[in-house]
Amino acid sequence: GAGVSQSPSNKVTEKGKDVELRCDPISGHTALYWYRQSLGQGLEFLIYFQGNSAPDKSGLPSDRFSAERTGGSVSTLTIQRTQQEDSAVYLCASSLVHRDETQYFGPGTRLLVL
């Protein structure tokens, strides 16, 4: 079946603009995660959605970052007033949680803030 998909694959924006990144998890997966991979650094957890529960936002680096998940499926990560340090690869992952703890990753969105 289809894996996790993300769009756009690449995004170039100007400093100060808002961007939206989209993630389509694997059908039936109740858990969804956003991570960020900055150049030369390891992956950084951002936010976690589990079913209809309140999301775990503990990894969001600032209040310019927000995410929502509509209908328990598609998720959008929004970065407001982008800064150059926001340039990174943003990865989305999903998992079944109860029967399978493996997280399956999408291909990522490469964000470049000029």
Binding site for another protein (CB under 8 A): 4, 31, 33, 35, 41-45, 48, 50, 56, 59, 91, 93, 95, 97, 101-108
Which of 39/70 has CB closer to another protein? Answer: 39
Task: For the CB of residue 57, give the shortest distance to another protein in the complex, in Å.
Answer: 11
Which of 25/108 has CB closer to another protein? Answer: 108
C-alpha span between 60 and 25 (Å, rounded): 20
Residue among 107, 52, 113 nearest 79 (CA): 113
Q: Do 6 and 25 touch, CB atoms closer than 8 A?
A: no
Which of 14/99 has CB closer to another protein? Answer: 99
Counting Cα atoms < 13 Å in the Cβ hemisphere of 94 gives 22
Task: For the CB of residue 11, give the shortest distance to another protein in the complex, in Å.
Answer: 15
Task: For the CB of residue 106, give the shortest distance to another protein in the complex, in Å.
Answer: 6
**In Å, how far are 58, 75, 99 from 6, measured between CA atoms?**
22, 10, 24
